[in-house]
Structure 1
Amino acid sequence: MPAIVGVAQVITLGNSSVFHIGDVYKIMPFAAAKTFSGAGSFNTGERLDVNNRMSSTNTYDPELIDQANAFNM
């Protein structure tokens, strides 16, 4: 559905960033990355109380290639 968008201020965009306003048919990435993180790694906000006593991150990945980005243009 069409939308009325007010002011948008973009400070920076990285190499593989995606920025769109309004309707979009398809968003296809040109790059991919794999991130391993433990419990409570990406918490954001004010006054967080995180209690992680025994925490370990499994980084074992038997696949050499996950999914190709070959046809993303």
Structure 2
Amino acid sequence: MPAIVGALRIQSVGTSSIIHVGDVYSINSYSEAKTFAGGGSFNTGDAVTVQIDHAQTAINDNDKFDQVMTGMG
């Protein structure tokens, strides 16, 4: 059955967002991310104390794809 859609306003669309207007059979979203972080990163909790002297995060990533996502979408 066809959908009747009136006025439509989209403020913003973020990464890996889905906009669904009308009839749909299947919606598949996916995202890819690569995160680099140095020592002491991603700490959570109350009163976390981290002391890191002379830390360095070296990043050398020359390949185009780490893992190709196929069969999505």
Name the TM-score, length of structure 2 as normaliser: 0.55
Aligned sequence identity (%) = 38
User: Alpha-carbon deviation of 1:63?
Assistant: 1.4
- The aligned residue for residue 55 of structure 1 is 55
Query: How far apart in 2 are the matches of 1:46 and 1:71?
Result: 42
What TM-score do the two structures reach when normalised by structure 1?
A: 0.55
**How many residues get paired?**
50
Q: How does 1:1-73 map to 2 (within 5 A)?
A: 16=16, 30-73=30-73
Structure 2, unmatched stretches of 5+, are 1-13, 17-28
Runs in 1 of length 4+ with deviation above 3 angstroms? none
Alpha-carbon distance between aligned partners in 2 of 1:15 and 1:54, rounded to the nearest angstrom:
35
Return 5+ residue gaps in structure 1 as ranges. Answer: 1-13, 17-28
Bigger-Rg structure (1/2)? 2
